[in-house]
Structure 1
Amino acid sequence: MSETRIREEICRLGRSLFERGLTPGSSGNISVKLDDGGWLVTPTNASLGFLDPARMSRLGPDGRLVSGDAPTKEVPLHTALYQTRSAARAVVHLHSTHSVALSMLPEINPRTALPPMTAYYVMKCGHTALVPYYRPGDPAVADAIKGLAGKYSSVLLANHGPVVSGDTLEAAVFAMEELEETAKLYLLLRGLNPRYLSPAQVEDLTKVFGLELPEHHHD
């Protein structure tokens, strides 16, 4: 896909996420890795609903701004995911309501923030890690992400929001949507003793769809 098309896709999918209320105001950011090792990322203080393809921040392989507006303050977060997940070609970070709410609950297991509630959650997101709170843009969040050793494609930032990587931008967006819907399901069913997928059912999904899931134990 050409760089021009990638810029257009970031704007199209960003607007879709914004219009469906998945990230309010000027929150959230999107990046896509380019063939030359650099990447495109949404600018700082930009609403995902009103992006301009010509003003996208173009970073070089060293992470420095090459052209466009100043990039999001969350560049360290995106960089950490690209450095630890070699297959990642896109990263999406939102402030979606249900995922943020989930990240604030005291019972959440940092190694598996959500139980295996649906087949599509397991297929799209695998398992989701929870990392402690850091202020937005804090470079220390990169160390927290690196501490996951690339095992997770979906991560919750406590009291902040979800971040998901994918092998394409569309895959990252779809996984993000699945994470948000599963967080919503969890909140709806919290305290009702719902039936989750069994270990055997998760193992079947893993084998059939070639999933690579980190070892986990849901308490």
Structure 2
Amino acid sequence: MTESELRDLLCELGASLFARGYSVGSAGNISVRLPDGYLMTPTNSSLGRLSPSRISKLAPDWSHVGGDKPSKEVFLHRAVLTARPEAGAVVHLHSTYATAIGCLAAPGEDAPIPPLTPYFVMRVGRRLPIVPYYRPGDSAMEPAVHQAALDARALLLANHGPVVSGKTLVDAVYAAEELEESAKLAMMLRGLPARELTPAQVDDLLSTFG
């Protein structure tokens, strides 16, 4: 896709996430890898009201070169995209159920949501590490996020929200949506004798779909 097409798609998908309650107010941010840098949602912007021409552009060294000032959590996206060179986009949300899991699970835990459905495994993977709490915008979390992202497509920031990567922008958004729905299922089934996918079934999904 061209940069112009990606700008339009970012705004379209951001509005869809916002309309369905995956983000509220100015919460959440999205980044996309380009051949000559990155696109990122601007600071203090609503995912529901993004303008293609005002999307921030960053150079390969992450310096701001165009559009509005980028999100204060640039370092969060940098941590994931440098850890995962195959990823083309990162979606960070404050979606309700995934954030609730991040408030319940202990930092260091790496599977707070059980493998209840195949699409959770296919889109999110086996691991979902919990990164310890840092103040929003605190760049001190970058090393911890980078380390967690080295072998995980998605992670939860304790008491903050999910951070999800994908090969493309669409893949990252789909995975973020699947994570939120899986978190909702996990909360609904909490304390009940739910049937999880077996380790063999999880291995089969990962070997088949990657």
TM interval, shorter chain, is over 0.9
Distance (whole Å) between structure 1 residues aligned to residue 128 and residue 134 of structure 2: 18
Q: Secondary structure at the match of 1:45?
A: coil
Q: Which residue does 1:214 correspond to in 2? A: none
Q: Which residue does 1:70 correspond to in 2? A: 69
Distance (whole Å) between structure 2 residues aligned to residue 179 and residue 146 of structure 1: 20
Q: Which residue does 1:201 correspond to in 2? A: 201
Native 8 Å contact 2:108 2:131 kept in 1: no
Matched, 1:121 2:128: no
Q: CA RMSD in A?
A: 1.2
Q: Which residue does 1:90 correspond to in 2? A: 89
1:120/1:106 CA distance change after superposition, 3 Å: closer
Q: Secondary structure at the match of 2:119?
A: helix
**Amino acid corresponding to residue 207 of structure 2 in structure 1:** K
> Which stretches in structure 1 are left out of the alignment for 5+ residues?
212-219
Structure 1 residue 139, shift from structure 2 partner: 0.7
Structure 1 residue 137, shift from structure 2 partner: 1.0
Distance (whole Å) between structure 2 residues aligned to residue 51 and residue 149 of structure 1: 27
Distance (whole Å) between structure 2 residues aligned to residue 87 and residue 168 of structure 1: 9
Q: Which residue does 2:151 correspond to in 1? A: 151
Structure 1 residue 181, shift from structure 2 partner: 0.2
Distance (whole Å) between structure 1 residues aligned to residue 92 and residue 29 of structure 2: 5
- For residues 58-113 of structure 1, give each alpha carbon's deviation from its aligned partner in whole angstroms, at most 9, with x where no partner exists: 10011111011110011000000011001011000000000010111146862112
1:107/1:64 CA distance change after superposition, 3 Å: closer
Residue correspondence of structure 1 range 26-175 to structure 2 within 5 A = 26-36=26-36, 38-106=37-105, 110-126=109-125, 127-148=127-148, 150-175=150-175
Q: Secondary structure at the match of 2:104?
A: coil
Structure 1 residue 149, shift from structure 2 partner: 5.5
Which of 138-147 and 157-166 deviates more? 138-147
**Amino acid corresponding to residue 131 of structure 2 in structure 1:** V
Identity of aligned residues (%): 54
Native 8 Å contact 2:83 2:147 kept in 1: no
Native 8 Å contact 1:98 1:180 kept in 2: yes
Structure 1 residue 29, shift from structure 2 partner: 0.4
Structure with higher helix content: 2
Distance (whole Å) between structure 1 residues aligned to residue 97 and residue 25 of structure 2: 16
**Amino acid corresponding to residue 102 of structure 1 in structure 2:** I
TM-score, L = length of structure 2? 0.96
> Which stretches in structure 2 are left out of the alignment for 5+ residues?
none
TM-score, L = length of structure 1? 0.92
